[in-house]
Structure 1
């Protein structure tokens, strides 16, 4: 039950404070007034708002966006550790500079539209703008449900269109070129297992011996690993194993005989037991870093003149040091020079840097040190990623006549519409249609 509290103002005149109890029984103020009737009307209105299920506390909406996100939304939002890391980066990179100091009730659709236009002018990609707008919308959806605000400033605000580019699928011939450019041993088996199974990277690198039934060749996917910053890990580590794959649905499927035999041999040779990782980053398995093959400097032309007006040939030490050129060729030439000196015991040689890991293969390390050099050596006309091998697995299956539903279950897609994207993605996928077209046209010419 609310009441009116009388007090004396600084000028000696009486003032009346409207008091009421909130939903948790805490004493709140609905304002201070000169007339007692106004104060009574205020606390009665506040109680009426509470009866409707509304907070009736204007202070909730007056809190700053930064305070609401840091003290309420982000700590209490149930999300994956990797998602929390991505959200935190986006919040402080794109959202806090614009909205951090604003009150929640003051943020309107016009402010969000202005923010989208500002990001676009700064050259932020449409994909990033859309992602950050989705994040902002999620924050205000929660705020609206919690009755912090009574409007949703993101509704009706559009972001720049994101074109959906066609998938470029690596062909079997291209994969063979990349496969033979990979270092011998475990890393070739990693790539071949990926193209044969279509696993996500976190599922592939968390596979353990117990997940493969060698007699039936059935592979069970029941876990995944994510790599996060230690401050987002419950125990301060780098790798967090989840007891479920994406979409929280286990799946089982059969592998080909040839890859099953290779995996079984890999297990026997390395003496792996049930709980061991199938693919672990062991120090003896890390290949020596291969230096890039540089084209002849005469074929690259000259650098831009330096402050003294001198130019130097690209891919030379002079171009890097005196010419201050930082193109890929000049940087690679200097890096090779330093590596050769260290190999000879000069320039304070240091031991090779080993990635920090608990045995799981870091995706960024694998990409830079193993995958990208193989792509360059294979000289493909595009740069496929390890994720593109998952795309290729789906596309090859469908191109070979596999059932769409079977491919969906094999890849763990939540919707069959996702699987349908891989139909007709290989370069020769339209040959059947062209043959039918030619057959029909030739009938008219005969």
Structure 2
């Protein structure tokens, strides 16, 4: 054991010193001598034993571990600083991150010290979230779990930058399969897995809506606009002669939790969208007598359409009615109204009946946007055109979101590979398929080819144009 020196100070008190070598001199490269002093001999002797057993650094860590712990922040504190210092985001987005952390990781591991986070702690927290043990008690969708893990990974990266961790324990942790979130949320954008309706399913839902809201619903599904973009659309944004609307603003959250009107979600969200003919005809009577700053779509008594009210009084009842045929909807049933809790026939609304002509799925309002994209892709619209129409900042977002809706593209790719193996060109494969298309589909294909050629800087020759 190291020698413990006894020292008498000028004021008559006694201290005990332990000398040891730690570190090296930058000039000579030789070990540096240092020491630690104690007021109690027993403490000095204990430190001396630690030096022999743990080495200089281990003994110092042991000696000062109490003070070190006091200075190490929790994950909640690290997360608060990370979110506060984010740049290039709007205050509503910052508020969203704060809420996301609070209801997920903050609830489960927020009090964990930054230096005590391990992969096992992360795995358990992820499993707890998937099982509905977060602050909301909900089972999260796969997309929500991915967003939450991304936020945790960013917070842990800050822990590493501050020296509290030497690796990211969230890296490589597999996500469990998220659950489909039921349509019981007022603010449903990106809460769950997407639902893309067929034309028949859309018709079933559209027919159940009050006539006042049908133009609004057809605008959403016919343009792919977000809810927040549509409800603040003004008369001056619409040009019926050109069949276009300009998306220049959106309803969003402010830093104090209030709804405010600001720019669209992304820079490319500022865009011009060409309207289907049916939507143009819907808009004509709505625009009569309105000034440039007047809202295009309003509630029945005027004013902006409120998501909470629309969802509870219109969307949810219409969805239920679309899911049940008249035979399975008794006259006294109130499940398809804005007050299903007053239904005396059912304690809980019955599941979809599954009869022909009914809606089997449970789309959210935001799924009208996904449905629009799926219709475009099914019609052969180039994906960069879909990106521009939806206002995605990056085409990668569009590809990541909708690539699974491109089965025909996968089939064509497989055909091309097969023909390459056989040493043939692809002309013989796709030409008969084109020749078999009806006139309307052929016109759509010609327009899509022209758009794609323009995007690539190509010019279609007269022969190609005549053939189209």
- The interval holding the TM-score normalised by the smaller chain is 0.5 to 0.7
Q: Equivalent residue for 1:204?
A: 230
Q: Equivalent residue for 1:421?
A: 404
Correspondent of 2:369 among 390, 400, 410 = 390
Cα separation, 1, equivalents of 2:11 and 2:373: 76
Correspondent of 1:75 among 60, 76, 84 = 84
Q: Is the 8 A contact 1:223 1:243 kept in 2?
A: yes
Q: Is the 8 A contact 1:73 1:139 kept in 2?
A: yes
Residue 167 of structure 1 and its aligned partner are, at CA, apart by: 6.0
Secondary structure of the residue that 2:405 maps to in structure 1? coil
- Stretch of structure 1 that moved more, 125-134 or 271-280: 125-134
Secondary structure of the residue that 1:219 maps to in structure 2? strand
Residue 420 of structure 1 and its aligned partner are, at CA, apart by: 3.5
Cα separation, 2, equivalents of 1:62 and 1:10: 38
CA pair 250-110 structure 1, distance change in 2 beyond 3 A: same
Q: Is the 8 A contact 2:195 2:362 kept in 1?
A: no
Q: Equivalent residue for 1:34?
A: 37
CA pair 118-423 structure 1, distance change in 2 beyond 3 A: closer
Cα separation, 1, equivalents of 2:371 and 2:146: 27
CA pair 167-129 structure 1, distance change in 2 beyond 3 A: closer
Cα separation, 2, equivalents of 1:110 and 1:61: 24
Secondary structure of the residue that 2:369 maps to in structure 1? helix
CA pair 8-104 structure 1, distance change in 2 beyond 3 A: farther
Correspondent of 1:190 among 198, 201, 216 = 216
Q: Is the 8 A contact 2:84 2:94 kept in 1?
A: no
Q: Is the 8 A contact 1:239 1:360 kept in 2?
A: no
Cα separation, 2, equivalents of 1:408 and 1:10: 81
Secondary structure of the residue that 1:144 maps to in structure 2? helix
Q: Is the 8 A contact 2:234 2:296 kept in 1?
A: yes
Cα separation, 2, equivalents of 1:190 and 1:8: 88
- Stretch of structure 1 that moved more, 92-101 or 381-390: 92-101
Secondary structure of the residue that 2:211 maps to in structure 1? coil
Q: Is the 8 A contact 1:126 1:162 kept in 2?
A: yes
Q: Is the 8 A contact 1:197 1:393 kept in 2?
A: yes
Residue 125 of structure 1 and its aligned partner are, at CA, apart by: 4.0
Q: Is the 8 A contact 1:218 1:252 kept in 2?
A: yes
Residue 199 of structure 1 and its aligned partner are, at CA, apart by: 0.9
Between the two proteins, the alignment pairs up a number of residues equal to 307
- The reply on whether 1:96 has 2:106 as its aligned counterpart is yes
Matches within 5 A, 1:406-417: 406-413=385-392, 414-415=394-395, 416-417=398-399
User: Deviation digits for residues 72-106 of structure 1, max 9, x if unmatched?
Assistant: 22332344444434433343333234433332122
CA pair 388-33 structure 1, distance change in 2 beyond 3 A: same
- The reply on whether 1:135 has 2:151 as its aligned counterpart is yes
The answer for unaligned runs of 5 or more in structure 1 is: 1-6, 17-30, 36-56, 286-358, 426-435, 440-446
Q: Is the 8 A contact 2:92 2:257 kept in 1?
A: no
Cα separation, 1, equivalents of 2:10 and 2:101: 46
Matches within 5 A, 1:56-67: 62-67=72-77
Q: Is the 8 A contact 2:130 2:178 kept in 1?
A: no
- The reply on whether 1:169 has 2:196 as its aligned counterpart is yes
Q: Is the 8 A contact 1:8 1:15 kept in 2?
A: no
User: Deviation digits for residues 283-321 of structure 1, max 9, x if unmatched?
Assistant: x25xxxxxxxxxxxxxxxxxxxxxxxxxxxxxxxxxxxx
